[in-house]
């Protein structure tokens, strides 16, 4: 499941994700690979972990940029602004 979440970058289709995964098996992908991937995607959607969009979507900074490459203050500020994290008495976003 972690691989699917990692590859869910807002820029690729499910078909491209399946093709990528199939290339990881030089001797041929398991017969049930497509069904497994589709099942995982369905569970991730139902759990509100991922969302499918009709067009490529730019992910927020804190999901798009590798953690080690992020400016911690910028990432935190954007996560608070987006409601990704909530802090009591938050002073970064100002009054609502």
Query: How confident is the model over 39-68, as a mean pLDDT?
Result: 92
Q: Which residue has the higher pLDDT, 1 or 46?
A: 46
Over the chain, what is the mean pLDDT? Answer: 89
26 has pLDDT over 50: yes
Query: How confident is the model over 64-70, as a mean pLDDT?
Result: 92
8 A C-beta contact, residue 12 and residue 60: no
Long-range contacts of 38-44 (CB under 8 A, 24+ apart): 38/14, 40/1, 40/4, 41/4, 41/14, 43/1, 44/1, 44/4, 44/5, 44/8
């Amino acid at each position: 499941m972690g691989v699917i979440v990692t590859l869910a970058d807002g820029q690729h289709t499910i078909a491209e994700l399946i093709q990528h995964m199939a290339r990881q098996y030089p001797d041929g992908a398991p017969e049930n690979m497509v069904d497994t991937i589709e099942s995982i995607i369905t569970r991730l959607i139902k759990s509100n972990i991922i969302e499918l969009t009709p067009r490529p979507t730019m992910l927020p900074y804190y999901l798009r940029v590798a953690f080690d490459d992020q400016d911690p203050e910028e990432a935190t500020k954007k996560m608070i602004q987006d409601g990704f994290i909530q802090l009591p008495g938050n002073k970064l976003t100002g009054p609502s």
